[in-house]
């Protein structure tokens, strides 16, 4: 499991225990307030606000990492599909000023209206009780222990932690 140095996600310092994947330039970590069970994030190590500010090497690494992680998420959470999304800038719903890719495992009927996933993404980190059409409800943020347990399970798919 990830040990030692913490990871920077915008102005947030992430515990190594929530990180399950590392590549040369990117890392994957579990979400403190997932829209769906298995909703994870992939981000470059370098803190960059906007997608256009990434180098070509960072873009390549970020998307290769996203592809590798996506396969694991789909298998681990028995998904038939995936939503892969970047909210690039505040008017697109980005709340953390650090480029990151959302990976959400999807199943038929997980939202009453399929595109409601984007509304849920835009609102998922707001405080309070969240009740969604998919029945997934949670109050507040997950504990670090809960997140570390999920990260440990996901890390077992990779040999880079």
Question: Which residue positions form the known binding site?
Answer: 31, 87, 102
Longest Cα–Cα distance in the chain: 42
Which residues does the annotation place in the binding site for substrate? Answer: 31, 87, 102
Is residue 100 annotated as a catalytic residue, yes or no?
Answer: yes
Contact between 2 and 16 (Cβ < 8 Å): yes
Contact between 65 and 44 (Cβ < 8 Å): no
Angle between helices 144-155 and 56-76 (to 10 degrees): 90
Angle at the Cα of 72 from the Cα atoms of 100 and 38, rounded to 5 degrees: 60
**CA quadruple 22, 7, 28, 41: dihedral, nearest 10:** -160
Phi, psi (deg, nearest 5) at residue 46: -70, 130
Six-digit token pair at 140?
Answer: 């507040």
| Positions marked active-site | 100
């Amino acid at each position: 499991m990830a040990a030692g140095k913490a990871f920077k996600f915008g102005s947030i310092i992430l515990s190594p225990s929530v990180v399950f994947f590392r590549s040369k330039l990117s890392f994957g970590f579990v979400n403190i307030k997932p829209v769906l069970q298995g909703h994870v994030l992939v981000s470059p190590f370098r803190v960059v606000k906007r997608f256009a500010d990434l180098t070509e090497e960072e873009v390549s690494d970020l998307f290769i990492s996203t592809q590798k992680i996506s396969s694991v998420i789909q298998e681990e959470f028995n998904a038939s599909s995936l939503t892969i999304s970047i909210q690039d800038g505040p008017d697109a719903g980005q709340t953390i000023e650090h480029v990151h890719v959302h990976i959400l495992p999807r199943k038929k009927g997980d939202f009453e209206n399929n595109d409601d996933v984007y509304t849920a993404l835009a609102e998922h980190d707001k405080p309070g009780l969240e009740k969604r059409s998919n029945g997934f409800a949670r109050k507040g943020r997950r504990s670090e222990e809960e997140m570390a347990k999920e990260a440990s399970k996901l890390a077992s798919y990779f040999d880079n932690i």
